[in-house]
Structure 1
Amino acid sequence: MMIDYATKRRNMVESQLRPNGVTDPRINTAMLEIPRELFVAPMRQPLAYIDEDVAITDGSQARYIMEPMVFARLIQLAEVGPGDVVLDIGCGLGYSSAVLARLAQSVVGLEEDPQLVADGNARLAQIGAANAVLVQGHLNQGYPQEAPYDVIVINGQVAEVPSRIFSQLRDGGRLVAVIDHGPIGKASLFTVNKGAISQRIAFDASVVRLPGFEKQRPLFTF
């Protein structure tokens, strides 16, 4: 039996996003129109619209597509505008980049696996997201080649954000991420103002950790 993905998208917006405070009509429209099922493995397409993270690769360093409600609230927190240049860290096969491309001027999606990058770019081309491109690199290094960015989105839970990633934001730029805080993460908005970084915790969230962002232990010398 054929799955009616258009109905699943509508149900996602009406039952997961709107009741949980996603009020930006641009975000709701983008997530209503972009085929989320295209950005997961074929065997997992029936799971694409459930309200939890869904694996898109397997193994110890598996990559996930973030839970729809948390992702939508996170990018709403970033207040992405039509003139913004966005870095999308840990973008998987590019779903998050596709949504952000509807909101921003341009999007650079960053992944470590070159096969994910190639497959993701093919999917972006398939839906006509000409202002988004996926590039290969270490997630915890960011992508300084296209910096500075107005917005940086980190797709996953992290212990901390490295200073080298903050340094890729332009003055007045925003970064959103879910930060470890005991048993549950805290979705946070970071802003940069004349080199000073401020953090505002917006809501509780529990999403899969993004590898490479573990807290660094201080080095001691004797």
Structure 2
Amino acid sequence: MNMPLNTSANINDPIAQARFNMIEQQIRPWDVLDSDVLDLLAVVRREEFVPQAYRGMAFMDMEIPLLGNAEEALRQGHCMLAPKIEARLLQDLQVQPTDRVLEIGAGSGYMAALLAHRAERVVSLEIVPELAQMARENLRRAGIQNADVRQADGALDAIPDGPFDVIVLSGSVAEVPQALLALLREGGRLAAIVGTDPVMRATFVRRTGERFETTQPWDTLAPRLVNFPEPSRFTF
């Protein structure tokens, strides 16, 4: 399914050149060295998952708003994560062709498209109706048939499709949600960005029997996913 990264054939195509620059100047220097992941980023057209008003920002090292006012969209977490974060999560999860994947926060559907190229099946939950519809349309236009976008709250709604081999939170939380860990099957992996601004870490949890092994290999920041628990704030 993946295609080799070919720069010489696309050198006169400004979009292809911008995509190449994103991969070589943003993503590869961020320790994303898996050739399959890098090739996939060249195949899945990120710009087609970006709203028309922001398409010129598709390959920039930044979060891209998806709904309405840009400042409000970023504050509400209605945005695409920076490309290097999506790529590093994808690499570090080591998604396999037999994996069933759950994503919390579909956004525009781009991460679901990347996951679908590597996994057997992807279920992506999106709490905002407009974004759920946007993600479905983008995936349909991209010819992705093994990703299902559902309007649902990943923090509060029951998720009947488990267990999963991989769970991805496409946004940040204050702590790893225990209810999602329970949906991991043996050997399953969960990825989330955990912490509170200005200190957050990419957090990976692997299930081995009833044990959950956690690693936090890199720092980053990401907008909040709504309705997940926040730490108590005491007033003196």
Say yes or no: TM over 0.5.
yes
Query: 1-side partners of 2:76 and 2:85: how far apart?
Result: 21
Residue 154 in 1 paired to residue 164 in 2? no
2:216 to 180, 201, 211: 201
SS at match of 1:50: coil
Aligned-residue offset at 1:87: 0.6
1:102-181 equivalences under 5 Å are 102-141=117-156, 144-180=159-195
* Matching of residues 1-222 of structure 1 within 5 Å: 4-58=14-68, 59=72, 61-141=76-156, 144-180=159-195, 183-215=198-230, 217=232
- Segments of 5+ residues of structure 2 without an aligned counterpart are 1-12
Q: CA offset at residue 65 of structure 1?
A: 0.4
For the Cα contact (< 8 Å) 2:106–2:132, is it kept in 1?
no
The one-letter code of the counterpart of 1:97 is A
Alpha-carbon distance change, 141 to 28 in structure 1, aligned in 2, over 3 angstroms = farther
Cα distance in structure 2, aligned partners of 1:67 and 1:133: 23
Task: Name the stretch that deviates more: 166-175 or 135-144.
Answer: 135-144
Equivalent AA in structure 2 for residue 186 of structure 1: R
Where has structure 1 moved over 3 Å in runs of 4 or more? none
Query: Could you list the runs of 5+ residues in structure 1 that have no partner in the other structure?
Result: none
Between the aligned partners of 1:11 and 1:133, the Cα distance in structure 2 is: 31
Structure 2 CA distance, aligned partners of 1:194 and 1:216? 28
1:90-133 Cα offsets, whole Å, 9 max, x none, are 12010000011111111111101222212211111111111112
Aligned letter for 1:151?
V
Following TM superposition, by how much is the alpha carbon of 1:214 offset from its aligned partner in structure 2, in angstroms? 3.3
Amino acid aligned to 1:204: D
Return the letter of the residue paired with 2:57.
Answer: L
8 Å Cα contact 2:197-2:221 kept in structure 1? no
Give the residue type in structure 2 aligned to 1:139.
G
C-alpha distance 32-142 of structure 1, shift in aligned 2 (>3 A): farther
- Bigger drift between 205-214 and 90-99 goes to 205-214
Cα shift readout 1:166-193 (whole Å, capped 9, x = no counterpart): 1111121100111115622101111112
Deviation at 1:75, TM superposition (A): 1.7
In structure 2, distance between residues paired with 1:187 and 1:62: 17
TM-score, length of structure 2 as denominator length: 0.85
Q: Which sits farther off after the overlay, 16-25 or 179-188?
A: 179-188
